[in-house]
Structure 1
């Protein structure tokens, strides 16, 4: 099984660290899981203009194909203005309507204030549902204060436990999808 994590931040390391922590937790739970982190800072995803995927640059094409070939996914975003990043939304605009059918799609978010924790549930979750993704219940919101200011590593053991639970639930759900008959 392949788990792909997507960090939708174009600045800073916190979201990438959060997504990477879910990938590492999944690998710790089941070492057979292949993991890959797509950090949008490393790619030049073109602005979606309603054209066929073949009309876009190689980075756009490659990222979309990596997402489509994943067995399951975890998406991370910082919360800006009570919403996910434009970069992540733009990436979603390149995907076909049923991109996440039969795939578990977990969510993590980072933010400055607790007021934004519902963005996962009501905004990103609705987008993933539109693409037919199965959304776990143990998604994780991480306040910026839970990161070490020097290293951007997650300091709170409770957050790391929630990340482990998310990874565990994602694996169980995806195994259930793959093993149903």
Structure 2
């Protein structure tokens, strides 16, 4: 797509049966793939001229089924939707130092709010505070320091119990 996705077109896409990343799938599944799994182009590649030509590049770190987006890809999305910023999550290594990371001159904010990620990582976690009415401010903060992460071991884990006969979820335990 030459222009960025419009929010209206994304809202019109029905949620696919699976949100697992995949190279194949319906247009809806591929759209959700992009929303869920695309990452900003790593800062070490941004200055290389070969990475300044396009809006997206294949992200092999996520199995090649997702893309890295460039600043021009983000700008296309922002302009299409008359926005000044995107706040996103879902990228542990990128946010590990503070629990959040600003990119592309502040037009992108990535936040990671899971303490003790996967029960084994000691990481800082962040949160976003949105202030204001007509003059909105989006402020990122560190919620918890890495040395406090052990206290939250298993905090984000849950157990789902399914009835074998009916296949219905009978219990969700945290």
TM-score (norm 1): 0.30
Larger Rg: 2
Higher RCO, 1 vs 2 (CA within 8 Å, ≥6 residues apart)? 1
Name the structure where helix makes up a greater proportion of residues: 1
